[in-house]
Structure 1
């Protein structure tokens, strides 16, 4: 089980329910959902459920999403600041889903890349036999740039539906899927189906 990750500037530690208010602050901020407004958390309970899913992933698979905390003062931010979350969660089939979300105050400083590199490495160490995947909307150029800096390759680009099936459905939007290794057709189809 991976308990704590340290990078040059960041501490990544498993999320706990003590992080719920800070997590909600980031995930409820409309600016962090500019590319997918329907994903924004509108209640603290949504954030609590997300943290519980991460805790479950950590316990079952050895890794999950982490709180990302600043280790030292950086211009405009103080040591110990909760910047957001980064990590990987096991999907309902055998593939990790790499993800990250940061407070707008942390944007443009390379934190997402730094945290995503650490999370990718941690997922590989926790379950080296399982591929690490990442999905990004084509309109999210900042997140796309982060993934292009990682040791992952583009494995699919497209839309899996012509129109949304329900509110919050992203299948009709152009997306990119990356993976850290070749993945079989069934796994790719399952990742595409996630929207």
Structure 2
């Protein structure tokens, strides 16, 4: 199990329930959900459940999402500042889902690429046989650039349904699926179906 990851500027530690207020500050901020407003956390409990899922992933699979914190001050952000989260979660089938979300004050510094790079390496170390995937909305060009910088390859683009089946369904939105290796048809179909 991975206890801590370090980069030149960042420290990544597995999320715990102690991070819930900082995590909710980021995940509840509408600015971090411009591309998918329905994904915003509307309660502290929703953020706590997401952290609990990450903690379960760490225990069961050796990795999950991590709190991303600054090691040293950067452009007015203090050392130890909680910037957001980055990591990979095991999906309901044998594939990782790489993800990251940072507070608006952390944008524009390259932190997402830095955190995602070390998270990708950690997922590969935890389960080298398991593909690492990442889903992104096609109009989220900043996130697309991060995935391209990581060297992930575009595996699919499109919408998995023509229209939403309910208020929380995002399968009709134009998405891109990236992966660190070619995916078999069943795995790719399962990732696409997630929306």
Scaled by the length of structure 1, what TM-score is found?
0.99
Equivalent position of 2:15 in the other structure = 15
Equivalent position of 2:146 in the other structure = 146
Equivalent position of 1:192 in the other structure = 192
Distance 1:145 1:13 in 2: 24
Equivalent position of 2:5 in the other structure = 5
Unaligned runs of 5+ in 1: none
Kindly report which structure 2 residues correspond to 1:98-109, keeping only aligned pairs within 5 A, or say none: 98-109=98-109
- State the shift of 1:181 in Å: 0.4
- Across the two proteins, how many residue pairs are aligned to each other? 195
Q: CA RMSD in A?
A: 0.5
- State the shift of 1:168 in Å: 2.2
- State the shift of 1:79 in Å: 0.2
- State the shift of 1:151 in Å: 2.3
Distance 2:7 2:138 in 1: 28
Q: Does 1:176 align with 2:171?
A: no
Runs of 4+ in 1 over 4 A off after TM superposition: none
Scaled by the length of structure 2, what TM-score is found?
0.99
Distance 1:191 1:166 in 2: 19
Equivalent position of 2:92 in the other structure = 92
Distance 2:151 2:122 in 1: 13
Equivalent position of 1:71 in the other structure = 71
Unaligned runs of 5+ in 2: none
Equivalent position of 2:116 in the other structure = 116
